[in-house]
Amino acid sequence: MDTLAIAAPESVSYLVHELRKWTGGKAPIHFHGHNDFGLGTASAIAAVNAGAEWIHGTIDGIGERAGNANLSQIALALGLLYGVESNLRLDKVRGASNRLRQIAGYELEPWKPLVGDNLLCGKPAR
């Protein structure tokens, strides 16, 4: 767990790798990261590449302070850049993001990866 987001991705990778060695690879490893330095996605990917099996995160990265690791960004990057599949339905992410924004009452930057309006070639998502 990196609740204060003070572990850089390289540190996360090292810690997860060491934990896998200590447990002999017999215990599932979870990673919980925040985004205080804008590295939530990178740290989560580093955790997976080092052997973490579960990633904690939220829709749109919503969470305390600067937010949590963004699940859709993590799943997109893992799948397309690293060939690591998740069970996250990327075709449902935009709808989930829209609904969460309706409930929570916040706006989303148009340049936000995967769900931002700029990715729709000028067609608003709402």
Q: State residue 19's pLDDT score.
A: 95
Distance CA(114)–CA(119), nearest Å, equals 7
Average pLDDT over residues 19-31: 93
Q: State residue 120's pLDDT score.
A: 63
SS3 content of the chain, % helix, strand, coil (to 5): 50, 10, 45
pLDDT at 123 over 80: no
64 neighbors 36 (Cβ within 8 angstroms): no
Domains annotated for the chain, with CATH where assigned, are 9-120 (3.20.20.70)
Average pLDDT over residues 109-126: 69
